[in-house]
Amino acid sequence: MTGIIETEGVTKRFAGVPAVDGVSLSVSSGEIFGLLGPNAAGKSTMIRLLAGILNIDGGSARVLGHDLVIEREKIKSEIGYVAQSFALYPELTVAENLEFYSAIYTPISREKQQLLLKQFGLQRFAAQRAGLLSGGYKRRLSIACALAHDPQLIFLDEPTAGIDPVTRRELWERFYELAALGKTLFVTTHYMEEAERCNRLAFLHRGRVVAEGTLATIISSFTGHSVYSVASAHNAALAAGLLAMPEVLLLNQFGDRLRVITDSSLTPESLQRVVRRHCDAAIELVEPDIEDVFMALTHERGRK
Ligand SMILES: Nc1ncnc2c1ncn2[C@@H]1O[C@H](COP(=O)(O)OP(=O)(O)OP(=O)(O)O)[C@@H](O)[C@H]1O
Ligand SMILES: [Mg+2]
């Protein structure tokens, strides 16, 4: 096993119901690995398993070369973890939070703490209570705290949820800097443009991996489907007409264009015929993008 993370059939059940169901993944050193999936897909549970916070019920895994079951404590000290609902000490100042987290495992120097504050744009808030920071700055601080013992592997559970686009870009610059230093990042996100920033991805659906690889390989292996762009603003009758076709999997409206994901057995002529019944819109066969693939692979059975 050469990866920083290697899992084989990892399973976790809550009250007998699998939240993570036979997940096999491999993450390499210096990689930014993205885990995507709809709500309740099992992303946070997977991170908590790999971070040694929860016990696995089945399968096996090695994290940073340590066995996840028998060497859990070693793993905990070598990783950083930013939880989805992250915890800071609101009564401590920004600088004190960082110092506290640094002290838990291998403390870093004051200089390095200062550098972290600077890198995350927190210097001017150093003496302010963490509880008074805005949501975005709390998140920056929680990421800085997770880095305060200089971990090799960092788990970030939706690190940019609710973050403005400029700050999100800045955080991603930090993530790239960390990866360039040889750190490995394991990130969950719901933002498709962030998926495009990862080196490799896995899509999780109901606890199972439904696609894995680079963005390009995931998109190119999305066979059996076609994606059409229909030049139509929202049109309820058109939508109902399209969804009545058994080959139409799902629709996604973007302003005055409707994206239609179909089974590839549907001919453009048949689609155009149904569209014409409702409006005069042209249809265009387009390349699938990451959102199309994600939507199709995580689409629940039964029509919506
Ligand atoms: N401690 C727990 N006890 C019982 N059920 C749990 C527990 N933690 C998670 N679950 C269940 O496991 C499933 C997966 O949850 P998880 O939080 O891993 O999903 P997620 O992919 O992170 O979702 P989201 O995008 O909403 O954060 C859900 O059905 C959830 O209710
Ligand atoms: Mg989650």
Give the separation between CA 296 and CA 42, rounded to whole angstroms.
Answer: 18
**Does the C-beta of 41 come closer than 6 Å to ligand 1?**
yes
**Does the C-beta of 189 come closer than 6 Å to ligand 1?**
no
What is the per-residue pLDDT for 72?
Answer: 87
Sketch out the chain's domains with CATH numbers. Answer: 5-219 (3.40.50.300), 224-287 (3.30.70.100)
**Does the C-beta of 47 come closer than 6 Å to ligand 1?**
no
**Does the C-beta of 176 come closer than 6 Å to ligand 1?**
no
In Å, how far are 152, 162, 169, 209 from 190, measured between CA atoms? 24, 11, 15, 16
Angle at 83 between CA 3 and CA 99, to 5 degrees: 95
**Does the C-beta of 44 come closer than 6 Å to ligand 1?**
yes
**Does the C-beta of 52 come closer than 6 Å to ligand 1?**
no
Give the closest residue to 174 by CA, choosing from 134, 200, 147. 147
- Ligand 1 centre to CA of 124 (Å) is 36
pTM of the model: 0.92
What is the per-residue pLDDT for 95?
Answer: 93
Q: Which atom of ligand 1 is nearest to the CA of 158?
A: 27
What is the per-residue pLDDT for 104?
Answer: 81
Give the separation between CA 118 and CA 94, rounded to whole angstroms.
Answer: 12
Residue 71 burial by Cβ neighbours in a 10 Å radius (0-12, 13-18, 19+)? middle
Give the separation between CA 40 and CA 62, rounded to whole angstroms.
Answer: 24
- Ligand 1 centre to CA of 285 (Å) is 37
What is the per-residue pLDDT for 250?
Answer: 95
Q: Which of 10, 11, 12, 14 to mutate to test the pocket of ligand 1 (most atoms within 8 A of CB)?
A: 14
What is the per-residue pLDDT for 300?
Answer: 67
pLDDT in tens, the chain (304 residues): 468 999 999 999 999 999 999 999 999 999 999 999 999 999 999 999 999 999 999 999 999 999 999 998 889 889 999 988 878 899 999 999 998 888 887 778 889 999 999 999 999 999 999 999 998 899 999 999 999 888 999 999 999 988 889 989 999 999 999 999 999 999 999 999 899 999 999 999 999 999 999 999 999 999 999 999 999 999 999 999 999 999 999 999 999 999 999 999 999 999 999 999 999 999 999 999 999 999 999 886 554 4
Q: In this structure, which residues have their CB less than 5 angstroms from ion ligand 2?
A: 43-44, 84
- Ligand 2 centre to CA of 19 (Å) is 11
What is the per-residue pLDDT for 77?
Answer: 83
Q: Which ligand is nearest to the CA of 38?
A: 1
Give the separation between CA 269 and CA 33, rounded to whole angstroms.
Answer: 40
- Ligand 1 centre to CA of 265 (Å) is 36
Does residue 35 contact residue 46 with C-beta atoms inside 8 Å?
Answer: yes
SS3 163: coil
Q: Which atom of ligand 1 is nearest to the CA of 37?
A: 21
Does residue 40 contact residue 150 with C-beta atoms inside 8 Å?
Answer: no
What is the per-residue pLDDT for 137?
Answer: 92
**Does the C-beta of 40 come closer than 6 Å to ligand 1?**
yes
**Does the C-beta of 205 come closer than 6 Å to ligand 1?**
no
Give the number of other Cβ atoms within 10 Å of residue 235's Cβ: 17
